[in-house]
Amino acid sequence: MTTHHLTCKDPQGYHKIVYSQWGDPTHGEVVVCLHALTRNRHDFDKLATELASDYRVICPDIVGRGESDWLAVPEDYSYALYIADILALLEFIKVDKITLVGTSLGGIIGMMLAARPHSPIQRLVINDVGPLIPKEALRRIAFYLMKAPPHFTTLNEVEKYLRSIYASFGPLTDAQWQYLTQHSAQLTEEGNYRLAYDPMIAKTLQQVVLLKDVDLWSIWNTISCPVLVLHGEQSDLLKTETIEQMQATHPNTQAVTFAGVGHAPALQDEQQIGVVKEWLKA
């Protein structure tokens, strides 16, 4: 694995995007992995390791998360900017055809990109998100975002907090929680720890949660590439009836539900990773 960065434009100027690269950098088959709202590229370390022998795997930190820059103006966090950054990344690495794996926010970005004419996305894996996002799930996410502590004294405190808000990830091992914690916290100049995302991201949700369900069916109905939907059985963000409608309107959609998991499958265990690997080989 190697780490790289590129500079992207935003309404105020420029920002840096950091990404990890796995596998042969000259390999023709490329998988790009996009993380969830407050997560980062390291959520895909296990999956990328498993795919690296057969693919070139690119895992960026979306702007405002991980090691990528935070934006000066919170209102600039938008799908338009996220998509522009991904397209800039593809141009930077000189790739025009990809498989995209996206968890939650990453899956929404993937759907929006896949719906575009002449899209670079040839295959799409969306992890526990769909074209209808219930307002109740958005309110839950907004609540923990707005209530998140500004700093922690120790990594143990961070881990305790993460185990609480991400309990729906499923039965992770202690080692997996520790790994997730290690990459979810950043040491401050004062010697405390902060979560590895810009807290101002919460502002982008405050307006949405006061309204209604997010309806992306017009986008979904434009997608033509093969799609794999990963679903947490206990998810409040992706409902079974939504998946059924997705399959009815897009016949080239396969869905796999994981028991004992909510939003969202963490893609850490062999079963979940195996499903992705087998679908990509098909």
Set out the domains of the chain in order of their start, with CATH numbers.
2-281 (3.40.50.1820)
Task: State how beta strands 2-10 and 30-34 pair.
Answer: unpaired
* DSSP-assigned letters across all residues of 196-245: SB-GGGHHHHHHHHTS--EE-HHHHTT--S-EEEEEETT-SSS-HHHHHH
Of 264, 222, 260, 281, the residue nearest 126 (C-alpha): 264
Distance CA 50, CA 46 (A): 6
Question: Is the Cα dihedral 135, 258, 65, 130 positive or negative?
Answer: negative
**Is 281 strand, coil or helix?**
helix
Query: What are the Cα distances from residue 113, in Å, to 84, 100, 175?
Result: 10, 10, 35
The torsion angle over the Cα atoms of residues 19, 13, 114 and 134, rounded to 10 degrees, is 90
* 282 residues of the chain, pLDDT tens digit each: 999 999 999 999 999 999 999 999 999 999 999 999 999 999 999 999 999 999 999 999 999 999 999 999 999 999 999 999 999 999 999 999 999 999 999 999 999 999 999 999 999 999 999 999 998 998 888 888 888 899 999 999 999 999 999 999 999 999 999 999 999 999 999 999 999 999 999 877 766 555 688 999 999 999 999 999 999 999 999 999 999 999 999 999 999 999 999 999 999 999 999 999 999 998
State both tokens at 8.
Answer: 């992207």
